């Protein structure tokens, strides 16, 4: 019985990771489409904005592996890219770490994507 429970938990984590990868691909394609159309993005609901901030953060950290990022850098990146204002990256990090365990908090306010 425990084996089945562990199996299901592992499968669920794999599915969540796959969903995040698809969201990152979707983000990249939407960005390309927006530059192609050269239109302004429409307003987005708050829940979607949080997910978008999470995806953008993962994209930033994954595109620069083994580089140490300060939370202020990541927050500024989110503000510039998707107009997401936040003073603290910690709340986003909790959700990110659940989907992408390779993203680590090195010390207070500093994050890295370990290969």
Convert the pLDDT of each residue in 63-95 to its tens digit.
988 899 999 999 999 999 888 888 888 888 988
> Do you know the residue count of the chain?
115
Mean pLDDT of 12-24: 87
How many angstroms separate the Cα of 89 from the Cα of each of 7, 46, 52, 84? 32, 16, 14, 11
43 has a pLDDT exceeding 70: no
In the chain, what percentage of residues exceed pLDDT 90?
30
| Packing angle of the helix pair 46-63, 71-82 (nearest 10 deg) | 120
According to DSSP, residue 88 is labeled -
pLDDT value for 87: 83
The model carries a pTM of 0.61
């Amino acid at each position: 019985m425990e084996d089945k429970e562990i199996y299901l938990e592992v499968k669920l984590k794999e599915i969540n990771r796959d969903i995040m990868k698809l969201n990152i691909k979707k983000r990249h394609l939407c960005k390309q489409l927006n530059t192609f159309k050269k239109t302004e993005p429409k307003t987005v609901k708050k829940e979607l904005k949080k997910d978008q901030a999470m995806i953008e953060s993962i994209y930033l950290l994954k595109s620069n592996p083994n580089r140490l990022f300060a939370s202020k850098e990541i927050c500024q990146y989110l503000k510039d890219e998707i107009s997401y204002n936040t003073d603290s990256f910690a709340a986003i990090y909790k959700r990110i770490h659940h989907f992408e365990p390779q993203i680590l908090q090195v010390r207070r306010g500093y994050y890295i994507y370990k290969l």
